[in-house]
Structure 1
């Protein structure tokens, strides 16, 4: 089975690369896609539409351009992996989870036990919750086997 997996969330660790590598090691037929993980590029995504004097409007335009990308990728994926890290609040990841839930798109959350409570609603709508990359890879391995 071929899967298209969207990787959402925290951008400060190499969890995406670890999942991709783990799936390659098991020769899984998975295509991965992701939001833009380059913070500066993401922040300037709307700059091509004109300069803004106020940061609110620059952020507003960039958020909309980024949404064009993320919404399209989420709509096209078979499953999403949504990572919540411990260091920063990932509002975008929570939004992606909500979008997946609204589309009835299955997703797996990936986060540590110490943030279970603030993510209880996000986890309640998820099809699985993982605490390690290895758990995600094993789940994708199970899903992709015929």
Structure 2
């Protein structure tokens, strides 16, 4: 069986690349999907619908265009990994976790101990909480290949 793992959340570090490389090293049958990770491109996704002078409406249109991809990827995934970084508030990642929970999708959170408290509800619905991309690879290896 080929698994699809959706990688959601923080876009400023290389956690996605570490998970993908680790899964490849374990020869796991996984396809990885993700939201758009180019911040400027994501912010401009709605610009095709017309220029806005009000930043609220620009963000509103772009979030809807981005949601087409995000909803599809979450609905099609077998497992989601939701990364919360320490530097920025990833409200979109919290929304993705909630959407996974509503759909009954298994998801794993990835974040440091410093933000356990604000993520208690998100973690409570997760199947696991990991601190490192390497732990994510170990979980995927166990789940997919029972190694």
TM-score interval for Structure 1 and Structure 2 normalised by the shorter chain: over 0.9
1:1-146 residue pairs with structure 2 within 5 A?
Answer: 1-145=1-145
* Structure 1 unpaired stretches of 5+: none
Runs of 4+ in 1 over 2 A off after TM superposition: none
Indicate the RMSD between aligned Cα atoms, in angstroms. 0.7
Aligned residue pair count = 146
TM-score, normalization by structure 1: 0.98
Whole-angstrom distance in 2 between the partners of 1:102 and 1:124: 13
Contact conserved, 1:9 with 1:92, CA < 8 A, in 2?
yes
* Structure 2 unpaired stretches of 5+: none
Contact conserved, 1:107 with 1:127, CA < 8 A, in 2?
yes
Cα shift at 1:52: 1.1
Secondary structure of the 1:86 match is coil
Whole-angstrom distance in 2 between the partners of 1:133 and 1:58: 33
Whole-angstrom distance in 1 between the partners of 2:113 and 2:53: 42
